[in-house]
A and B are shown apart, each in its own frame.
Chain A
Amino acid sequence: MALSTTVSQRKLIKRKAPRGFLKRVFKRRKPHLRLETSSDLLVHLNCLLFVHRLAEESRTNACENKCGIIKKDHVLAAAKVILKKSRG
Chain B
Amino acid sequence: MRGGDPGRKNYKKLRRLGTVGRIFRGWTGAQRALLETPSSKKLRSQTKMTARRRSHKARSIDRLAHIQAGGHLEEQTPRTLLKNILLTAPESSIVLPESVVKPVPTPQVVQTSRRESSRGSLELQLPEVEPSTTLAPGLLAPGRRKQRLRLSVFQQGMDQGLPLSQEPYGNADASSITSSLNLTFATPLQPQSVKRPGLARRPPTRRAVDVGTFLQDMQDTSLALAPPGDSLRTPVTTLPTDTVLEDTQPFSQPLLGRSPTVQHSLPCPSHSGAKDVERAVGHRTWSSGPRLQNSGPGKPAQLMAGKVEEVDALALGFPNTSSNISGEDGVEPLQNGVGEEAEGRMKEGLSMREVEEATEAQGSARAEEPEEHTEVTEAEGSQGAIEAKEPEGSSGDEDTPGRTASPELASSTPEFLRARRLQFPEPAPPPSTAVLTSEPPETLSARLPPRTRIPGPRPRQDPYKTGLNHYAKLFSFYAKMPMEKKSLEMVEKCLDKYFQHLCDDLEVFAAHAGRKTVRPEDLELLMRRQGLVTDQVSLHVLVERHLPLEYRQLLIPCAFSGNSVFPAQ
Which residues of chain A have a CB within 8 Å of any CB of chain B?
1-3, 5, 7-8, 13-18, 20-22, 24-26, 28-30, 32-39, 41-52, 54-56, 58-59, 62, 68-72, 74-76, 79, 82-83, 85-88
Contacts and interface: CB of A to CB of B under 8 A. Distances in A.
A85 B531 contact: yes
Given A42-B524, A49-B532, A36 B497 contact: no
Contacts of B477: 55
A33 B519 CA distance: 11
B524 A58 contact: no
Interface string B499-523: 1111101110010000011111011
A50 to B, nearest CB: 6
B520 A39 contact: yes
B41 interface: no
Contacts of B498: 47, 50, 83, 86
Q: Is chain B's interface secondary structure helix, strand, loop, or mixed overall?
A: helix
B478 A33 contact: no
Contacts of A8: 550
B555 A46 contact: no
* Range class of the B interface residue count: 35 or more
A73 to B, nearest CB: 9
B483 interface: yes
B501 A70 contact: no
Q: Is chain A's interface secondary structure helix, strand, loop, or mixed overall?
A: helix
Nearest to A88: B529
A52 B472 CA distance: 10
Given A59-B479, A88-B505, 18 more contacts: A24-B463, A25-B467, A25-B503, A29-B499, A29-B503, A38-B567, A39-B520, A46-B526, A49-B527, A51-B491, A51-B495, A69-B481, A70-B481, A71-B484, A75-B494, A86-B498, A86-B530, A87-B505
Q: Which A-B residue pairs are the 4 nearest by beta carbons? A: A55-B478, A21-B467, A2-B566, A42-B523
B379 interface: yes
A1 B560 contact: yes
Nearest to B510: A33
Interface hub of A3, A16, A59, A76 (most chain B Cβ within 10 A): A3
